Structure 1
């Protein structure tokens, strides 16, 4: 789960995606790493 020009970090709130358009957080189920 990678985005061009950005980076993806798995945090407590979910996938923290930093893109050129801004900051996006994608919530995930607890204990799952589906992406």
Structure 2
């Protein structure tokens, strides 16, 4: 099954947002220790 260009872009954007959020949470956890 081939994803449409729009769906691929949406998935990539979502992954980028989640990676940014995970980095933020790791930084906050490190600061709280």
TM-score, normalized by the shorter chain, greater than 0.5: no
Which category of TM-score, normalised to the shorter sequence, fits these structures?
Answer: under 0.3
Greater strand share, structure number: 1
Higher Cα Rg, which structure: 2
Bigger relative CO (Cα 8 Å, ≥ 6 apart): 1
TM-score w.r.t. the length of structure 1 is 0.20
TM-score w.r.t. the length of structure 2 is 0.20
Greater helix share, structure number: 2
